Structure 1
Amino acid sequence: MSSPSSKEVSAQRSDFGLRLSNSMAKYGPLCVGIDPHRKLLTDWGYNVDALGAELYAMRMLQAANGRAAAVKFQSSMFERYGSKGFAALERVLYAARQMGVITIVDCLHGGLPTTISAIADAYFKPGSPLLADAITLLPYYGARSLGGVINDALNNGRGVFVASLTSNQEGASLQTAIRQAGEYKGKTVAYGIAGTAQKFNKGIDGMGSVGLIIGATIGQWINDSGVDPARFTGPILSPGYGWQGAEMDDLKTVFKGTKGNVLVTVSRSIATHGPDIAKLTEATASVARDIRQALTEAQNESSDEEPGVGNE
């Protein structure tokens, strides 16, 4: 077999960004978080076990189908049940693929290149047991340590989201710390992470496949980070809306000037309406409308700050 051309390689490496962009254009910027917390399983009348988590996930998936651009599975909520939990996650990922729903596994993996390379076998390669469209990554072994697994994702038409500005309050002190050496010396840790991610998106026509995680609750300190979401060309996965306290105004503050690449994840604000499927679908559609409105308004505002991470 002949080797793929450079054009074919480029198309493969940009495939996830294109598919996600098309899904967001069709269904809006909502990502339904599927997080089978113990309390939610109990409230829904399900057992707190792997079967309960699977039943919960299937129902949330049904509500999201055709109403959200993607779904995000919190892997730890399945991992707690051991092998049965992982088997349940495999089955719901398979169901999502059959539905044509874009899937993100929120596993927040990170590590040395020699060890994290195994993640590609689990999530990216054809026939992988946990085949997903994208996963989340932690860059605190150094953002460059993720290069191998990111390239594995891109070469298989998949994507990643790298944690940059997280929604937990303690994150600010680490993520706004000034780097003392290296390529981004004098810039914040978050800026360096975003800059490294952006390099993978350089030259891509449209939305890239390497994304960032930027919480919706960080409006008070985003300027301290030096990161300007409006200049990032990959997808941005944003937790924190709804249950964690962020509102529509927060989305407009953090994501002003962005250009349709922000994907807002919402879980419990939807799940509390379950297990009735009609109420779940109604809640999903309502949240999707609110988020679309907020981000449309944000896109119409330009950033007043000096440029942060962009097409460097």
Structure 2
Amino acid sequence: MSSLSSEEIHAQRSDFGLRLSNSMAKYGPLCVGIDPHRQLLTDWGYNVDALGAELYAMRMLQAANGRAAAVKFQSSMFERYGSKGIAALERVLYAARQMGTITIVDCLHGGLPTTISAFADAYFKPGAPLLADAITLLPYYGARSLGGVINDALNNGRGVFIASLTSNQEGASLQTAIRQAGEYKGKTVAFGIASTAQKFNNGINGMGSVGLIIGATIGQWINDSGVDPSKFTGPILSPGYGWQGAEKGDLKTVFKGTKGNVLVTVSRFIAAHGPSISALTEATESVALDIRQALLEASTEGEETDEAD
């Protein structure tokens, strides 16, 4: 990076956000989750092993190609098979890159800066064995503990998604807890995480490269968090739609006023139509249209609220 001009560095650090924004403009706000659950492998007639997971992933990739803005691989579903599973994940990530599909590895890593710096070698740097466009991170060692790995991602034209408002049932009690000290004293934990992430996106024209994870099922308590998704300028990765219970109305509630930066993940709802490629592609196209319409209405509702004010 030291040999690059300031303009080149700025372009590199905003590259993921630009590429994802372009992909979402072209294909819509759907991210296909590729999660080879044991039951799905069995239902599809595959062995519950690394090869079965790889075959499943390749088929889901085919269905997503040209129909979704990105794909997200659940790393634990491959790690369960040890070295063979990791090798399978390497191969499906390579296949996705050959298709030109944006890849997110859902590994939810976190830790001390001295240890998580190794993730850059695994996911971000040229020649990385698990080279991906973005990974997911957990901020509960402190959001600032992620600064080093976030900068490694940005400096290599990659991105991250930081868990902020998750859809698990116990999330609300932790994420809406009030901070007792520090820069965001008196604000919620979630607010501090979102604000720290936003700092990396300040000064970027268009969508930034540092994102948040905000579940689609949290509408009942999002106001308690103090987080306003419409004011966040990075990408927002939103699980919970479909199988986990969120519907179009939930997307409109949580993401009211957002401006094209919400990427909704759907996995099992699509996979339930497999292994037929034609059925998978039809399901992918159908859910993509539903999500696009719901988020368009969410954006419009936000504009109407602003006009009323």
- Give the TM-score, by structure 2 length: 0.98
SS at 1:90 equivalent: helix
Distance 2:303 2:175 in 1: 21
Report the secondary structure of 1:216's partner residue.
coil
Give CA deviations for 1:131-150 in whole Å, capped at 9, x if unaligned: 00000000000000000000
CA distance in 1, matches of 2:230, 2:168: 22
Amino acid at match of 2:278: A
Query: Residue 114 of structure 1 aligns with which residue?
Result: 114
Report if the CA contact (8 A) 1:73-1:105 is conserved. yes
Corresponding letter in the other structure for 2:102: I
2:37 alignment partner in structure 1 = 37
Amino acid at match of 2:286: S
Which residue of the partner structure matches residue 257 of structure 2?
257
Q: Provide the secondary structure at the position in 2 that maps to 1:114.
A: helix
Q: What aligned pairs does 1:120-131 form with structure 2 within 5 A after superposition? A: 120-131=120-131
Matched residue SS, 2:190: helix
**Closer, same or farther: CA 287–4 of 1 in aligned 2, 3 Å:** same
| Aligned counterpart, 1:135 | 135
Alignment-mate amino acid for residue 169 of structure 1: Q
For the Cα contact (< 8 Å) 1:230–1:303, is it kept in 2? no
How big is the alpha-carbon RMSD for the aligned residues of Structure 1 and Structure 2? 1.3
- Cα distance in 1 for residues equivalent to 2:127 and 2:305: 45
TM-score of the aligned structures, taking structure 1 as reference length:
0.97
Q: In the alignment, which residue of structure 2 is the partner of 1:310?
A: none
Percent identity of equivalent pairs: 89
Q: Is the Cα contact below 8 Å between 1:214 and 1:239 reproduced in 2? A: yes
Query: Which ranges of structure 1 fall in alignment gaps of 5 or more residues?
Result: 307-312
> What SS does structure 2 have at the residue aligned with 1:88?
helix
Matching residue of 1:309: none
Q: Secondary structure at the match of 1:302?
A: helix
Match of 1:288 in 2: 288
For residue 294 of structure 1, what is the amino acid of its counterpart? A
What amino acid is aligned across from residue 51 of structure 2 in structure 1?
L
The equivalent of 1:220 in structure 2 is: 220
Which secondary structure state, in structure 1, belongs to the residue aligned with residue 40 of structure 2?
helix
Q: Which residue of 1 aligns with 2:51?
A: 51
* Residues 13-28 of structure 1 mapped to structure 2, 5 A cutoff: 13-28=13-28
Identify the residue that residue 299 of structure 2 maps to in structure 1: 299
Q: Does 1:184 pair with 2:212?
A: no
* TM-aligned CA deviation for residue 305 of structure 1: 9.8
2:203 is matched with which residue? Answer: 203
Q: Which 10-residue stretch deviates more, 2-11 or 255-264? A: 2-11
In structure 2, how many angstroms separate the alpha carbons of the residues matched to 1:85 and 1:304? 49
Tell me the equivalent position of 1:92: 92
Structure 2 residue aligned with 1:64 = 64
CA-CA distance at 1:3 after TM superposition = 1.6
Alpha-carbon shift at residue 303 of structure 1 (Å): 8.0
Distance 1:210 1:263 in 2: 13
Change (3 A) 1:169 1:272: same
Structure 1 contact 90–130 (Cα < 8 Å) conserved: yes
SS in 2 for 1:300: helix
Distance in structure 1 (CA, Å) of the matches to 2:133 and 2:166: 21
Mapped contact 1:273–1:283 kept (Cα < 8 A): yes
Whether 1:275 and 2:275 are equivalent positions in the alignment is yes
Residue of structure 2 in register with 1:152 after alignment: 152
Counterparts of 2:254 and 2:233, CA distance in 1: 15
Which runs of structure 2 are paired with 1:230-241 in the superposition (5 Å)?
230-241=230-241
Give, as a single letter, the amino acid of the residue that structure 2 aligns with 1:76. Answer: S
Matched residue SS, 1:161: strand
SS at match of 1:212: strand
Distance in 1 (CA, whole Å) between partners of 2:301 and 2:227 is 17
User: Please, which runs of 5 or more residues in structure 2 have no aligned partner?
Assistant: none
SS at 1:73 equivalent: strand
AA in 1 matched with 2:82:
G
Mapped to 2, the partners of 1:300 and 1:106 lie a distance apart of 30
Q: Which runs of 4+ in 1 moved over 3 A?
A: 303-306
- Between the aligned partners of 1:2 and 1:152, the Cα distance in structure 2 is 14
- In 1, the alpha carbon distance for the partners of 2:2 and 2:28 equals 39
